[in-house]
Amino acid sequence: MEKLTFEFLGGAPVNATRAPALVGVVGSGNLEVLIEPVELGGRCAVEILTAARGFGATWEAVLDDFFARHKLADVRISINDVGATPAVVSLRLDQAVEDFLGGAA
């Protein structure tokens, strides 16, 4: 397993009382995404635990795209991956943020 961490800045803080959101399932070719409000001084932290080693640049590109579309701050995103493709990763991230923000994403 490989552990990757990323930080993003420049988003709008979310309501700290929002309930965490969990989408997806840990299984072959899929992943689970947990998004939760955490006081991070305006940052967004992403932690990925993945079975697919050596794809850090791909993860970074997918996350850059996600944060270009969803300006978040004071949020932690935890991802457990079992070899999902970038398209599945994007889908799960979008599902998680939509669920987390109550359809206001």
**All structural domains of the chain with their residue ranges:** 2-102
**Half-sphere exposure (CA, 13 Å, Cβ side) for 102?**
5
d(CA 77, CA 20): 10
pLDDT for 39: 93
Q: Provide mean pLDDT across the span 54-59.
A: 93
Residue 87 backbone dihedrals phi, psi, to 5 degrees = -65, -40
> Taking the model in full, what pTM does it have?
0.90
Helices (H) and strands (E) in the chain, counts: 2, 7
CATH fold of the domain at 2-102: Ribosomal Protein S5; domain 2 (3.30.230)
- With tokens 């299984």, the residue in question is 27
Among positive and negative, which fits the CA dihedral 70, 99, 23, 14? positive
Query: Quick check: 18 pLDDT over 80?
Result: yes
